Chain A
Amino acid sequence: MKKVILMLLIISMLIGLFGVVNAAKKVTIWCWDPNFNVAIMEEAASRYQKLHPDVEFEVVSMAKADVEQKLNTILASGVKRGLPEIVLIEDYNAQKYLQSYPGSFADLTREFNYKEFAPYKVKLMTLNGKVYGVPFDSGVAGWFYRRDYFEQAGINPEDLKNITWDEFIEIGKIVKEKTGKYMISGDPYDGGLMRILLHSAGTWYFDEKGNPNIANNEVLKDALKIYKELFASGIMKETSGWNEWVASFNNGEVASVVTGVWIIGSIKAEKSQTGKWGVLPVPRLDLPGAVNASNLGGSSWYVLNNSENKDIAIDFLREIYAKDIDFYQKILIERGAFGTWLPAQNGYAYRAEDPFFGNQRIFLDFSEWLKKIPSVDFGLFTYEADGAIMGVMPDVYNGNLTIDEALKLAEEQFKNTLGF
């Protein structure tokens, strides 16, 4: 028996050693979403391999929450082995990682010409004058609508290019009445739309100094009012989670979708709806400084400082993400990935007419809206603030709390979470 145990221990050590052996020139990449980021990274990798056949790539596909969990664990425990070379980080989280794990991400300031990238993206990854990432996709928001339903309701899309959310709700009621379709769909406890509303007014949950700005935030008050109104008016189909949401527009239950440009892949997945969709600028809040342009999501690539093949990884990102115009055309057409490397936006794909969207040159429009997006500093605590606000939403919906009271409570909660 002792021998068996001894054997087990020896075997365990041996296998354990194999656990971290790496090929000489291997670049490991962690990212989420197999149909988007993962597929795009694989495309990029195969392009790089044509130039450098000796470099191996492993693109690991995980759930977004898992990427974040792993990154936190590995960085917090100070482990130096088995690090991926490249990770995808959502823009909302960028400063959180940069400021929580100083020195863990490679300083790329001198490696890239950042003037060629969309300035708002670069700003999000800058800390103390140094730039730490390679900007990837934009979450420029659009109002995707069903041409056929709008026509049926007697609404001319040309009149909708500069409307407010209040008008949006009124139109939604007409659509509901005339066609029986919901205007939009969504999860009443998801903060996605909230972020679109805030961003379009150039505001966030914090002021310039990073202090909470919730209880007296006029934009936020308006946003909460719209949330409540959307559900109360009956024009919003409630869905739980991503899948039901996507299903609601794929099966034709809703007349429009307000979200980031990255949704195009999911909308186009329903081929029977070809020619029936169009895109408009998002509605704006009825407040000074609010514009008909916004953003939801978007993420960027970061290189880990202690990873084995850091230099190869940087070279790879430079060769593809800051040089290959054709690559950007391909991922735009195939995946709907709207890159933020500006030279790529002169390429053919950005001007092409899309038959699925009734031959609208949608990406030309998105390029225009991209330029209008107000610059916002997301700070470190977007998810904490989101959580605090969604925690009071049940009482807002059922009228137990007025919006002012709810936001006051949310701010208190937010401060408690942070330990201010």
Chain B
Amino acid sequence: MKIGKSYNLWGWVFISLALIALTLFILYPIIYSLYLSTFSTRGFLKTFVGFGNYKRLFQDRNFLLSLKNISIIFVVQIPIMLFLALIYAFLLNDPKLKFKGFFRTALFLPAVTSLVAYTILFKMMFSTDGLVNNILLAIGIIKQPIRWLLDPFWAKVTLIIAMTWRWTGYNMMFYLAGLQNIPNEIYEAAEIDGANRRVQFFKITIPLLKPIILFTTIMSTIGTLQLFDEPMNLAAGVVTGSSVGPGNSLLTPSVYIYNVCFKYVPNFGYASAISYVIVLIAAILSLIQFKVVGERR
């Protein structure tokens, strides 16, 4: 039919600007780097290696270490952050709660800070002689200053604390918005039936927010796989910069890509191969998350 055809055309017209921009600025670089990933490069000298870069990756201990580092964030930081965000959203959704606006704004505020700025701030707060140790010592929680950025374990703890501070409110916002879709009558009915808050949280809130939880989980997973600004700036400012955080404890795949491109003998082919493996991992994890949540598109 005539009308159908013209609407189809309009569809393309509407998305054309975005498609042109995406093709230029995202698709072209992606395809170009796919091509590059079959070469081993040194600056602008190229040697074709086919799948050689990919084979090499699986023996590269630094790359594996970077995966291990982010998997800890994946397993520890994301659940803590999302669970906290859910609780905040649940509590703030209570119509009887006072000062709601204040709490919501306060909890969201960290999300407006720039990644670089807040990382610099946290780096100062968590220096060995710094603010956080001073407070903890004064309260008497610890007797010795914690070696936050000097110990591989504590460096990761610092990163996790910083990221949780920055991103919890951001995720809370999605949940809060999602909760507005759940009519208050459901909660009221549950209360009449004698369901306490814990029951309400686990039996009503979480099941009804499932699609949004899935969405935030996938976004956080992708964000973690691409984690760059925070570890880069937390680890910056050392004398020779030999390791990214103590014992490379803050090395993430993106930081490794950056190092392979810009700090080491520049091998853009190898860096491209790393990024494709990251894409693959992101895709697999997203699929698993879809399966676990049991959501069909």
Contact = CB atoms under 8 A, between A and B. Distances in A.
A189 B249 CA distance: 10
A65 B262 contact: yes
Contacts of A97: 43
Nearest to A75: B43
B65 A391 contact: yes
Q: Which residue, of A76, A195, A409, A419, has the highest number of chain B Cβ atoms within 10 A? A: A419
B289 interface: no
Given A100-B42, A390-B248, A391-B248, A189 B243 contact: yes
Contact of B236 (A65, A191, A416): A65
A184 B118 CA distance: 31
Interface in A379-409: 380-381, 383-384, 386-394, 409
Interface residues of B, number: 44
Contacts of B128: 238-240, 244
A375 interface: no
B61 A412 contact: yes
Interface string B24-65: 000000000000000010111100000011001001111001
A96 interface: yes
B61 A96 contact: no
Given A239-B128, A242-B237, A390-B247, A383 B61 contact: no
Given A72-B262, A240-B127, A242-B239, A391 B61 contact: yes
B268 A383 contact: no
A190 interface: yes
Q: Which residue, of B40, B148, B242, B245, has the highest number of chain A Cβ atoms within 10 A? A: B242
Contacts of A240: 127-128, 148-150, 238, 246
A75 B261 CA distance: 12
Nearest to B129: A244
B265 A380 contact: yes
B238 A419 contact: no
A384 B246 CA distance: 16
B240 A416 contact: no
Nearest to B57: A416
A394 B44 CA distance: 36
B247 A416 contact: no
Contacts of B242: 189-192, 194, 383, 386-387, 389-390
Interface in B227-266: 236-243, 245-249, 258-259, 261-266
Interface of B: 40, 42-45, 52-53, 56, 59-62, 65, 127-129, 147-150, 152, 236-243, 245-249, 258-259, 261-266, 268, 270
24 contacts: A69-B262, A72-B43, A72-B261, A76-B268, A78-B44, A97-B43, A101-B44, A187-B238, A192-B239, A239-B150, A240-B128, A244-B129, A380-B265, A381-B264, A383-B259, A384-B264, A384-B265, A386-B242, A387-B248, A390-B243, A390-B247, A391-B61, A391-B247, A393-B243
Interface of A: 63, 65, 68-69, 72-73, 75-76, 78, 96-97, 99-102, 187-192, 194-195, 238-245, 380-381, 383-384, 386-394, 409, 412-413, 416-417, 419
